[in-house]
Amino acid sequence: MQRLLKWGARLALALLSVLVVVLAGLFLFPPELFRVGTGYAAKIICSNVFIAGRDADEVLHDDVQAPGHPLLRLVQAEVDLDQGLVRTSMLGLIAPSAAVHREGLGCASVDEDDIDTAERLSAPPAEAMPADSSLPWPAGEGGSAEDPRLLNVLSDEALIGPAARAVVVVKNGRIIGEAYGPGFNESTPLLGWSMTKTVTAALVGILAGEGRLNLDAAGLFPEWAEDARREITLAHLLGMESGLRFNENYGDVTDVTRMLYLERDMAAYVTSLPSEAPPGTRFNYSSGETVLISRYWMSSFANRSEALAFPRRALFDVIGMRSAVLEADPTGTFVGSSYLYATARDWARFGLLLAENGLWDGRQVLEPSFIARMYQATLASDGDYTGAQAWQNGPRDKDSNFGLPEETLWVLGHDGQSIAIIPSERLVVVRLGLTPRALNYRPQRLLQAVREALR
């Protein structure tokens, strides 16, 4: 018996020694997957705390851990409200990451040594004047009227989808129906994920309309001057047809997760990637290409302060998207692929701008020719994606299978974000939530149910 106890003690000591060695190794050389996880957690918590005003523990549990990779359940977070800083790690010591908030520019993933530099990033754009609650939407925040025909639709969980956070229905330029999930309301800024891409395209469209950008321009970056990438045009990037290598899979350490959570200069990372196909011959959905679009349009300004102020001056303030925060990476490049926070009502304003052919309160914000590009599907995408960062069909299915008209335009984002636009019906339906792709949600059913209810 005594011998067994000795062997048991030795085995326990050996196992403990192995555990210490493993933990030391993870602390000193954390796997990149761990760093992606803690970087993602820090960024999401930071943005939701400092932009959306949500509770950090709630965000960690509901947004990071519950729907995510099992490893994320090991993440712990500390929030410094005074400094605008979030630090995360696994088990309190492995793969530490940080994200810092900059007023007007949102949050950015940073290294500890770069926190002070990131906080000093230029002068933030001036905040818009508060909305006038006495004016009806979209000029103000008042005057919306619930259409009783939509009550059953907007209370049907099967239609609005799992973990829906906001639904807004706009008809003939007015909000006629709204629904919000627990803890969310018309004042909560919500992340659009890849819906941001279409907003980035709109910024390019505005600059093109002003004669500041040429969509057919090639030789976009000095790094491409000596190889086939010099033939890539801005139009190729807008249609996801550049031919650049880019892996958009979010389940591992890929180009997209590396760009968003490991690289501090996102555009520099993407410009370093090789070409795999001649421009215009292959469709490859790529957040990296939209970050390159951001870097390129920002370079058309004489200084960074003007570029950082442009989205608010030229778009957000013009159409009343007062809550909108387009986040920038630590170098000051807008993450135009993924990181725009805005209330559901403000996302609906953007949808209304597209539904009205770029016209807003008598002002032509976007030229009709650029709006037409948003509605024109590319050959390389087999008719699914347009030449200006939007979709001709809803998620993972043809719209015709749901009885929707061919003219329907979709602005789509990760985890179930969508804006559906039917111009001839002057109908816009915004749906925001936290609905992973695996749940197989189809916003096409919601859109068709709204149409049928309004007939």
> Which pLDDT score is estimated for 21?
42
Taking the alpha carbons at both ends of the chain, their separation in whole angstroms is 83
What single-letter DSSP state applies at residue 224? G
Structure tokens at 206: 């505005």
- DSSP SS3 for 76: strand
> Which pLDDT score is estimated for 7?
64
pLDDT tens, residue by residue, 305-337: 999 999 999 999 999 999 999 999 999 999 999
Residue type, 154: L
Q: Which residues, 6+ apart, have CB-to-CB distance to 6 below 8 Å? A: none
- DSSP SS3 for 157: helix
Residue 53 falls in which region: left (phi positive, over 0), alpha (psi -120 to 50) or beta: left
* 20, 21, 258, 383, 436 from 25: Cα distances, Å: 8, 6, 21, 49, 33
Q: Which residues, 6+ apart, have CB-to-CB distance to 281 below 8 Å? A: 241, 243, 380
Tell which residue, 341, 322, 286, has the closest CA to residue 43: 341
pLDDT tens, residue by residue, 74-87: 999 999 999 999 99
Structure tokens at 429: 């339906």
Structure tokens at 294: 């951001």
What's the gap between Cα 319 and its chain centre?
20
> Which pLDDT score is estimated for 27?
45
DSSP H helices in 210-286: 234-238, 255-261, 266-271
Output the pTM of the full model.
0.93
- Alpha carbons 46 and 294: distance in angstroms, whole number: 22
343 and 189 in contact (C-beta within 8 Å)? yes
CA 317, 323, 324, 327 dihedral sign is positive
Backbone angles phi, psi at 73, to 5 degrees: -70, -10
DSSP H helices in 178-322: 195-209, 234-238, 255-261, 266-271, 287-298, 304-311, 317-319
Tell which residue, 426, 413, 451, has the closest CA to residue 194: 413
337 and 197 in contact (C-beta within 8 Å)? yes
Tell which residue, 164, 45, 151, 53, has the closest CA to residue 432: 164
> Which pLDDT score is estimated for 20?
44
Gyration radius from the chain CA atoms: 23
- Alpha carbons 368 and 365: distance in angstroms, whole number: 9
Instruction: Compute the residue count for the chain.
Output: 455
* 126, 311, 446 from 315: Cα distances, Å: 14, 5, 28
- Alpha carbons 308 and 301: distance in angstroms, whole number: 10
Residue type, 383: G
List per-residue pLDDT tens for the chain, 455 residues long. 666 556 655 555 545 444 444 444 544 457 999 999 999 999 999 999 999 999 999 999 999 998 888 899 999 999 999 999 999 999 999 999 999 999 999 999 999 888 887 777 754 555 555 667 789 999 999 877 799 999 999 999 999 999 999 999 999 999 999 999 999 999 999 999 999 999 999 999 999 999 999 999 999 999 999 999 999 999 999 999 999 999 999 888 999 999 999 999 999 999 999 999 999 999 999 999 999 999 999 999 999 999 999 999 999 999 999 999 999 999 999 999 999 999 999 999 999 999 999 999 999 999 999 999 999 999 999 999 999 999 999 998 999 999 999 999 999 999 999 999 999 999 999 999 999 999 999 999 999 999 999 99
- DSSP SS3 for 52: coil
Structure tokens at 129: 């004047």
